Homo-oligomer: A and B are copies of this chain.
Amino acid sequence: MPTPSLTTVLDTGRTLLEPALRDAVSLHLGPEMGRIARYHFGWADAEDRPTGTWGGKMIRPTLALLSARAAGAAAADGLPAAVAVELVHNFSLLHDDIMDGDETRRGRATAWAVFGVPDAILAGDALVTAATSVLMSAPGAGARSATLALMTATQRMIEGQASDADFERREDVTLAECVRMAGDKTGALLGSACALGADLLGAERHLVERLRVFGEHIGLAFQLVDDLLGIWGDPDHTGKQVGADLRVRKKSLPVVAALDAPGTDELRALYLSAEPLDESGVRRVTELVERAGGRDWARDEADRRIAAAKECLADAGLPDDVRAEFQEVAGFVVGRRL
């Protein structure tokens, strides 16, 4: 059987998802919140005029639809799970943009920049509330179990975001703490997306759990690859300045792995000081992180996570086509064929 192309998989997801997501917004959000949501999703401009476009890659909902097929159901049966996970993801984007003061997203002004911070806070609140309503209203046998799982993942994501900010203020962050934080911040929701469709449809626990752990590994691998690119990536491909993450002294996984290694006094002194890092400082830090093994560790850990993810898939007992599509999407997420 030929492997489906990534574009086909994502387009299929998007075709199913867009009307369902629009329905959820118009059913569960009031007019004020609906307007901000339509802007945020890219369906409307700031004056609520339709744009005819559509933002976001829909990775998570596509995984949720695959998850329904993993349980032997039609992709469409997983729509409440897909919509709910996309609503939670966008709730976090709305609030993240406020917290980070980011003024653009997907090439447009962020919601808070257009509507103000109070309305953007409320719009995020509205989306996370709607996520619960969508999942709870679903006919699936596992609505209760799926809602609890999604809330647990959301709670971990929130805690991960808070830890991330806290770690930037601390000097004594360990690699173990950092890995757990990345798992919470990035892995939890991706893991939930992979399991949610099956969970909603009442699939057996083994399958649901394998899919969740698969997604968690993929989430962590993504974070590791993203952190590697933030230091050693080609600016033409990443769209970031060389060493952008180092310049702001981000406690990314390769850096913390290096700081955690013995004999890194120079790195600690450079990286944990309050002095701004100039270009030569960034080059020196890059060298020291590599020399302390931070780059190798992150590459190896990403490999281990990807291998573990593949094992989860193999062990889940999926139909061949569903497994192939999971691999396609996961490969896209981690920037590498699985």
Contact = CB atoms under 8 A, between A and B. Distances in A.
Nearest to A100: B118
- Tell me the number of copies of this protein: 2
A33 interface: yes
A58 to B, nearest CB: 22
Interface residues of A, number: 42
A137 to B, nearest CB: 7
A94 to B, nearest CB: 10
Interface in A153-181: 154-156, 158-159, 161-163, 165-166
A159 B124 contact: no
Given A121-B95, A122-B95, A129 B147 contact: no
A6 interface: no
Contact of A147 (B147, B156, B162): B147
Contacts of A161: 122
Contacts of A129: 128, 151, 154-155, 158
A136 B150 CA distance: 11
A30 B162 contact: yes
A32 B121 contact: no
A113 interface: no
Interface in A126-142: 126, 128-130, 132-133, 136-137
A5 to B, nearest CB: 36
B125 A33 contact: no
B158 A126 contact: yes
A117 interface: yes
A152 interface: yes
B125 A151 contact: no
A28 B124 CA distance: 20
A119 interface: yes
A16 interface: no
A126 B33 contact: no
A195 B270 CA distance: 59
A314 interface: no
Contacts of A121: 95, 98-99, 121
B151 A132 contact: yes
Contacts of A155: 28-30, 33, 126, 129-130, 133
Contacts of A29: 155, 159
A144 interface: yes
Interface string A200-235: 000000000000000000000000000000000000
19 contacts: A30-B184, A33-B155, A33-B159, A95-B121, A95-B125, A98-B117, A98-B121, A99-B118, A122-B162, A125-B128, A126-B158, A128-B128, A129-B151, A129-B155, A132-B151, A133-B148, A133-B152, A137-B148, A147-B147
